[in-house]
């Protein structure tokens, strides 16, 4: 079986390639550049999905894992952020889906985001039946991509992950690990939220499993590690694995929100203070089982952070 993986050099793409190779798949990875170094053991093709026709890259493919996307933009300097997200996440997905139809691939799996439902869950975990309510250009572009994909390839499978962490993680999760390691005092002890996350090994396994589970065809799934934690609990658990207790002190969350609003950092504060919980029972209902617990995922992430294990090869 030949799998084509877009975004093969990305954080999630590397893990999906590794998981596929472990199960004996042939893997053709698509990437825009050779940096970072592509995963070992795959056939790599360079392709910019926004500018080039993906038709030849899909020749002979049985399954497409579409993981490439514009994400993790901490400081957006593009002139029109909405257009940049739309081009990378929606237009490119539609073009790839049309090419997949022509190539006759049997399964198409797409990495969307839990943020399609919004930034904060309504006092209970989101389910796939909750109405989409994207709130930023990134999640708007993903929701748009989902709808176009359903129109072109009704049997595709869409996964909506929350924050993904694991060896090789960057952005905010890496920042949190650095803050814990340095013992920086964090005013988050009074935060009583609940957030779902997913270990990259679980997400990669879910993608690969869904490619072969007949009941996953044509479905959209929220995916998570299945154990939700508050922000202080997450920091404490990271601290335990790092042998550096997190330095947490109490401060009313309302004051933190006010301070963040004044500093123009409200979205960042909402991610630390608010709840975003997902109900992933639907994907378990079609037969997927998580290989890792949250604790195992955090342990592997800290081992990588400490230089004791490599990012996914």
Ligand X SMILES: NC(=O)c1ccc[n+]([C@@H]2O[C@H](COP(=O)([O-])OP(=O)(O)OC[C@H]3O[C@@H](n4cnc5c(N)ncnc54)[C@H](OP(=O)(O)O)[C@@H]3O)[C@@H](O)[C@H]2O)c1
| Residues assigned a catalytic role | 138
Closer to ligand X by CB, 13 or 253: give it: 13
Q: Looking at the DSSP assignment, which residues form a beta bridge with residue 111?
A: 159
Closer to ligand X by CB, 73 or 286: give it: 73
According to the binding rule CB under 6 A, does residue 113 interact with ligand X? yes
Least distance in Å: CB of 9 to ligand X?
4
**Strands in 47-202 per DSSP E:** 63-66, 107-111, 157-160, 163-165, 197-199
Least distance in Å: CB of 65 to ligand X?
10
Least distance in Å: CB of 247 to ligand X?
25
Q: Which stretches within 1-106 are classed as H helix?
A: 11-22, 81-85, 92-103
Residue count of the chain, please give it: 313
Tokens of 310: 């490599």
Residues 67-86 that bind ligand X (CB under 6 A): 67-72
Residues 92-111 that bind ligand X (CB under 6 A): 92, 111
Q: Which helix (H) or strand (E) holds 28?
A: strand 26-31
* Near ligand X by CB under 6 A: residue from 26, 41, 45, 48: 48
Residues 200-259 that bind ligand X (CB under 6 A): none
Determine contact, residues 157/219, Cβ cutoff 8 Å. Answer: yes
According to the binding rule CB under 6 A, does residue 10 interact with ligand X? yes
Determine contact, residues 5/28, Cβ cutoff 8 Å. Answer: yes
Closer to ligand X by CB, 67 or 294: give it: 67
Closer to ligand X by CB, 109 or 164: give it: 164
* Near ligand X by CB under 6 A: residue from 20, 31, 42, 216: 31
- Minimal CB distance to ligand X: which residue? 10
For residue 36, whether the previous peptide bond is cis, meaning omega lies within 30 degrees of 0, is yes
* Near ligand X by CB under 6 A: residue from 57, 88, 234, 246: 88
CB within 8 Å of 157: residues ≥ 6 apart: 107, 108, 109, 110, 210, 211, 216, 217, 218, 219, 220, 221
Which residues of this protein are in contact with ligand X, per CB under 6 A? Answer: 7, 9-13, 31-33, 48-50, 67-72, 88, 92, 111, 113, 161, 163-164
């Amino acid at each position: 079986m030949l799998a084509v993986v877009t975004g093969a050099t990305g954080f999630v793409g590397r893990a999906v390639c590794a998981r596929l190779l472990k199960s004996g798949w042939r893997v053709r990875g698509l990437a825009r550049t050779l940096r970072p170094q592509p995963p070992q053991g795959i056939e790599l093709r360079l392709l910019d999905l926004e500018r080039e026709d993906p038709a030849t890259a899909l020749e002979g493919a049985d399954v497409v894992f579409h993981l490439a996307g514009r994400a993790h933009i901490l400081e957006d300097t593009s002139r029109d952020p909405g257009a940049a997200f739309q081009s990378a996440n929606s237009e490119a997905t539609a073009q790839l889906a049309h090419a997949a139809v022509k190539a006759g691939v049997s399964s198409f799996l797409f990495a969307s985001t839990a943020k399609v439902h919004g930034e904060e869950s309504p006092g209970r975990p989101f389910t796939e039946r909750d109405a989409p309510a994207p709130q930023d250009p990134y999640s708007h572009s993903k929701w748009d991509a989902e709808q176009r994909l359903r129109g072109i390839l009704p049997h595709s499978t869409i996964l909506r992950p929350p924050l993904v962490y694991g060896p090789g993680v960057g952005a905010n999760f890496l920042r949190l690990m650095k803050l814990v390691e340095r013992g920086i005092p964090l005013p988050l002890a009074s935060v009583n939220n609940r957030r779902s996350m997913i270990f990259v090994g679980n997400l990669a396994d879910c993608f690969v499993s869904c490619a072969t589970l007949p009941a996953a065809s044509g479905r959209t799934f929220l995916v998570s590690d299945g154990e939700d934690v508050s922000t202080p609990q997450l920091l404490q658990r990271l601290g335990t694995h790092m042998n550096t207790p997190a330095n947490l002190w109490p401060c009313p969350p309302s004051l933190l929100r006010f301070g963040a609003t004044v500093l123009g950092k409200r979205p960042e504060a909402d991610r630390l203070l608010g709840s975003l919980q997902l109900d992933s029972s639907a994907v378990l209902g079609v037969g997927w089982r998580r290989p890792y617990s949250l604790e195992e995922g955090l342990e592997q992430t800290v081992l990588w952070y400490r230089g004791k294990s490599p990012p996914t090869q």
